[in-house]
Chain A
Amino acid sequence: MENINIILFVCNWGPHTAFQTLQDIRADIPPEIKMVRIPCTGRISKSLLFKSFEKGADGVMLVGCKSGACRYGSGTTTAIENIRDTRELLELVGIGKERLRLATFLPDESEALLQLLTEFTNKIQELGSSTVVPSKGQAPEFISRELLAETVSLHDVFTCQDCGKCTSACPLALIGKPFSPRAVANSVIAGDISSSVKDDIWSCLTCGLCYERCPSAVNFSEFIQDIRYLLKKSELTGHETHGGFFHSLMRTMTTPELKTDRWNWLPDDVKIDKKSKTLFFGGCAPYFDTFFRKFMDVNTCNILSDSIRLLNFFDIQPALLENERCCGHDLLWSGDKENFLKLARLNAEAINNLGIEEVITACPECYRSLGHDYAKHGVDIQFNVTHLYDFLEREIGKGAVDLKKMDRNITYQDSCRLSRFENKSDLPRKLLSRLKPDGFQEMQETASAALCCGNSAWIGCDAYSKALQVKRLMQAKSTGSELLVTSCPKCQIHLKCAMEDPFRGDDLKIETMDLASIVARSIYWE
């Protein structure tokens, strides 16, 4: 028999009594089970459930009170939703939903509890241990002054003239956060990374606006990326949002043996050809949609299916990477270079092995990572990376294709990776102008000067991020547009999150749609 681990979360109030009874009578509780007593099943978030698997659990069972018997009212309902979503996420990532279960018991149902525990343990034994290799924790390292100095000189931060242009451009500073890139640069140069400096290092959105303005061309975002890498070695937390769910998900995907199943939702009309030399790289949309289903109506999977439909429109039936993993963008930008590299190598190797010549993606972050950061970090890439918009411009430019006129007033949210990092702010605008909308009104700050969506790499989301998003949405609203066009799934998620603000009611609401989906709905052969 394999050596397996099962985590049992048991609610303090009802079923724990049943569990205690089993302990008192020295019942045969399977030894694989490690029990964790919890205050309420509703507090065991998707992130905690998922992390158990990342850290080596082969099975997880959440045991709570019967729906009407929850001491806090809504705990069991929340748990039902969390379990449903996490099971789907486990399925997508290739761990398998059957490894996670929810059950409810009354305090006197110890026998039934024992029976279920035994059953579940047998089931997990049958499945065997999960393929996930837990990433080893490492002892925090001390960041020496030399290491800091090295990073400073690598990015030529010494050339900073102390002019403050970065701070006066920084959206976080402008929204009122006591935050200054110039001050951060100066502190790090002086070898000071006290806790307040660290907080600032984790707060930066790496949006790149400051770099646009800096007369000395100090690439602050890239500098932050490397400093975070140092910090990550010396401390455990990285200010992750959503309980670190996304980082845990990404780390899980570094297991080579994992067989992900992220395309299981793809609609039937979308045409794929396994033998194609063109590959469509999707990105993590399926995870986003499942994770956020409960909070807001996020549907970023549409971006992927509509992108493939657009390829099909031009008679390209792309291959998909069956075992596609996260591109690693957010790990890289939150300081976890080791795991970024693992993902990068796994993806690149899988694509190389298929003999792919061109990778097309609609996600600005995947585009940046695959097309730029993989090679920069020495990963062997034997294919070209094309953004969907470049492909569309190329094909539409050949003629005989037009886009239906759009009877809407629209505005556009730039993606920082596409508009600033890749200098392609014109590209989506060319496509937008082909749409011939009723009106296209730019927001106050736009193109390479655009305000970002308020979060990056799932870290450091706070009240200032919210304020920034509200400001951006107000800018969008004040253009008089009915539709906010986006080009990054994350922009859509973070901005929609701000729209949910219960105190603002419908004030901030504006219909949002990705450019790929809009083009897919309007394009036709003349």
Chain B
Amino acid sequence: MTETKNKETTKIDVVVTGFGGQGIVLTGRILGKAAALGDHKESTLVQSYGPESRGGACSAQVVISDNTIHYPYIKFPDILVCMSQSGYEKYIGQLKEGGELLIDQDLVRPGKEAGEIWYSIPATRMAEELGRKMMANIIMLGFFTAITKAVSLDSARNAVVGSVPKGTEEMNLKAFTKGCDYGLATLKGLEKKAAGRTGAIL
């Protein structure tokens, strides 16, 4: 099992946003399962749909905590995952100072309010390359796991397997791994940049 971070902070508030049909709520559910069943923490999930659930705005609020959770609603997320521009616009103002922003780079254009650092992945495009557009959320989940380490890698994988329709486990795991690899590569890239070594020939 991989280490989870934020040992001292016992509560992580995650908001996942996008539009209906992207599997946003499922992402939230898998995340909560991973924390609860895999990492043996407490977790809650609140889902909300916009006026028109299909194609409309949609979000999932997941609280992960070492202690009992008294209130499942999130006002100021620690981590904000955006798979649509409208979701981004709605929540970015509430992201905590020093919080982490993860976006699908083809669907979200972050503005000044996003600050200096955010993490982006072409999740939908990668899902299309896999031939399963609807797996973008699972790719995003892999990316999320690698970048934030809010849940452990093994728990997330197991939760994916336990939550997706029978027969699609393998495909979903592949998608998850893609996202996860992308996240690890992103972190490595940031490290290299910080060290001033971005190329192969020095």
- Interface residue ranges, A against B (CB under 8 Å): 269, 306, 309-310, 312-313, 315, 395, 397-401, 519-521, 523-526
Contacts and interface: CB of A to CB of B under 8 A. Distances in A.
Given A395-B185, A526-B186, 14 more contacts: A309-B201, A313-B200, A397-B181, A398-B184, A399-B121, A399-B122, A399-B126, A399-B181, A399-B182, A401-B185, A520-B201, A525-B188, A525-B193, A525-B198
B185 A524 contact: no
B201 A401 contact: no
Given A525-B192, A525-B193, A400 B198 contact: no
A520 B184 contact: no
Interface of B: 121-122, 126, 178, 181-182, 184-186, 188-190, 192-193, 198-202
A341 to B, nearest CB: 37
A399 B180 CA distance: 10
21 contacts: A306-B201, A309-B201, A310-B200, A312-B200, A313-B199, A315-B188, A395-B185, A397-B181, A398-B182, A399-B121, A399-B181, A399-B186, A400-B185, A520-B200, A520-B201, A521-B200, A523-B200, A524-B200, A525-B193, A526-B186, A526-B189
Determine the main DSSP class of B at the interface with A: helix
A523 B189 CA distance: 12
Given A525-B192, A525-B193, A400 B186 contact: yes
Nearest to A526: B189
B202 A525 contact: no
Nearest to A311: B200
A491 to B, nearest CB: 23
A443 to B, nearest CB: 28
B142 to A, nearest CB: 11
Contact of B182 (A306, A400, A523): A400
Contacts of A401: 185, 189
Can you list the 3 inter-chain pairs with the closest CB atoms, starting with the nearest?
A: A525-B189, A399-B182, A400-B185
A399 B200 contact: no
A363 to B, nearest CB: 19
Given A398-B181, A399-B181, A525-B192, A309 B200 contact: yes
A398 B202 contact: no
B185 A399 contact: yes
Given A398-B182, A399-B181, A521 B188 contact: no
B201 A521 contact: yes
Contacts of A520: 200-201
Contacts of B186: 399-400, 526
Contacts of B200: 306, 309-310, 312-313, 519-521, 523-524
A521 B188 CA distance: 19
A395 B184 CA distance: 11
Interface centre among B122, B189, B200, by most A CB within 10 Å? B200
Nearest to A519: B200
B125 to A, nearest CB: 11
Most buried by B among A306, A310, A400, A526: A400
A315 B186 CA distance: 14
Contacts of B188: 315, 400, 525
Nearest to B187: A400
A521 to B, nearest CB: 6
Contacts of A523: 199-200
Contacts of A313: 199-200
A309 B192 CA distance: 14
Contacts of B122: 399
A134 B186 CA distance: 55
Contacts of A524: 198-200
A104 B201 CA distance: 45
Contacts of A519: 200
A400 B201 contact: no
A525 B199 CA distance: 7
Contacts of B198: 524-525
Contacts of B199: 313, 523-524
A525 B201 CA distance: 12
A471 B200 CA distance: 35
A130 to B, nearest CB: 39
A398 B178 CA distance: 7
Contacts of B181: 397-399
A468 to B, nearest CB: 34
Contacts of A399: 121-122, 126, 181-182, 185-186
A286 B124 CA distance: 46
A398 to B, nearest CB: 4
Nearest to B202: A269
Residue of B182, B184, B185, B188 ringed by the most chain A CB atoms within 10 A: B185
Contacts of B185: 395, 398-401
Nearest to B199: A524
A313 to B, nearest CB: 4
A269 B182 CA distance: 27
A511 B199 CA distance: 23
A186 to B, nearest CB: 49
Nearest to B184: A398
Contacts of A400: 182, 185-186, 188-189
A474 B147 CA distance: 51
Contacts of A397: 181
B124 to A, nearest CB: 14
